[in-house]
């Protein structure tokens, strides 16, 4: 998504050229390209698919069918990790505790299907500014509280610096998640202000914002995390530029932080 302007074949070719060993993919471009073809494309370039984004949005009418499809797509891509973004309040709703309880129930209903297919569900807490319209799971403690009802091999969490950097309780939750083997993905983005309207597409290039990303990497290392580190920038200004150039810049920024 950081370089969503790049068609999949170019994305994969540039990653291979730059020594990026894996890519996290989103469902829309994968489905447009063909899931089997996308899997072959990445595999033939010697890369891995680090995760698939996203399942979740459990308030949608067709959530169960859609999430099973997402599990199938993750399995077909050869990734073991499906990221779940829970969705917000139902239209006109104000019952936040109720919405959170329904998310936990929906994840529980999805676990057996995913486990049978070797796909781990990774619950992603989103920044509290998305609690109404995108994700009622707002903290790592909440995500972990849901994940802990299930075996760690099947359900874990996503640690994304953009969403968690402000939370003084997050470091302890990272340690707890790491000790239990529940950190299923680690994603980097920086926090830059002012936020744009709608607040979705203002994630900053690594090193340009307020987050101590090096400190976060050290925190994950201390927690025993040895998996991939993904960079996920939703940023209109980056999307408007040449994708290969943005990818090269991102690789340099990643190495610097």
φ, ψ dihedrals at 140, nearest 5°: -65, -35
Task: Confirm or reject binding of residue 191 to its own copies (CB under 8 A).
Answer: yes
Provide, rounded to whole angstroms, the least separation between the CB of residue 212 and its own copies. Answer: 4
Task: Confirm or reject binding of residue 188 to its own copies (CB under 8 A).
Answer: no
C-alpha pair distances (Å), 229 with each of 109, 217, 237: 29, 9, 23
50, 59, 142, 205: residue in contact with its own copies (rule CB under 8 A): 142
Task: Confirm or reject binding of residue 93 to its own copies (CB under 8 A).
Answer: yes
- Strands (DSSP E) contained in the chain are 22-26, 48-56, 81-85, 120-123, 155-160, 183-188, 190-191, 203-204, 229-231
Task: Confirm or reject binding of residue 58 to its own copies (CB under 8 A).
Answer: no
CB closer to its own copies out of 38 and 99: 99
183: three-class secondary structure by DSSP: strand
Q: Which residues pair with 230 in a beta bridge?
A: 187
Provide, rounded to whole angstroms, the least separation between the CB of residue 16 and its own copies. Answer: 33
Angle between helices 63-77 and 96-116 (to 10 degrees): 40
Q: What is the C-alpha separation between 186 and 51, in angstroms, rounded?
A: 10
Q: What is the largest CA-CA distance in the chain?
A: 49
Task: Confirm or reject binding of residue 128 to its own copies (CB under 8 A).
Answer: yes
Provide, rounded to whole angstroms, the least separation between the CB of residue 37 and its own copies. Answer: 36
27, 54, 100, 120: residue in contact with its own copies (rule CB under 8 A): 100
Tallying the residues shown for the chain, one arrives at 257
CB closer to its own copies out of 19 and 168: 168
> What character string, x for contact with its own copies (CB under 8 A) and - otherwise, covers 200-239?
---------xxxx--x------------------------
Interface contacts to its own copies, rule CB under 8 A: 89, 93-97, 100, 127-129, 131-133, 138-139, 142, 165-168, 191, 193-199, 209-212, 215
């Amino acid at each position: 998504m950081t370089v969503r302007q790049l068609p999949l074949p170019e994305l994969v070719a540039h990653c291979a050229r730059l020594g990026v060993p894996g890519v996290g993919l989103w469902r829309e471009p994968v489905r447009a390209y063909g899931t089997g073809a996308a899997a072959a494309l990445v595999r033939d370039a010697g890369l891995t698919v680090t995760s698939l984004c996203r399942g979740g949005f459990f308030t949608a009418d067709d959530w169960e069918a859609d999430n099973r499809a997402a599990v199938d797509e993750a399995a077909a891509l050869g990734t073991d990790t499906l990221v779940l973004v829970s969705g917000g309040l139902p239209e006109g709703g104000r019952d936040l505790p109720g919405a959170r309880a329904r998310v936990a129930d929906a994840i529980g209903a999805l676990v057996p299907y995913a486990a049978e297919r070797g796909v781990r569900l990774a619950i992603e807490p989103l920044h509290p500014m998305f609690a109404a319209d995108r994700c009622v799971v707002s903290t790592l403690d909440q995500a972990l509280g849901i994940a802990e009802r299930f075996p760690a091999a099947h359900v874990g969490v996503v640690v994304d610096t953009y969403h968690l950097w402000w939370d003084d309780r997050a470091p302890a939750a990272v340690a707890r998640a790491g000790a239990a083997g529940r950190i299923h993905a680690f994603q980097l983005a920086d926090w830059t202000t002012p936020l744009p309207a709608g607040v979705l597409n203002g994630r900053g290039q690594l090193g340009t914002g307020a987050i101590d990303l090096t400190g976060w990497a050290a925190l994950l290392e201390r927690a025993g995390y040895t998996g991939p580190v993904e960079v996920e920038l939703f940023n209109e200004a980056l999307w408007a530029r040449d994708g290969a150039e943005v990818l090269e810049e991102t690789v340099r920024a990643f190495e610097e932080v």
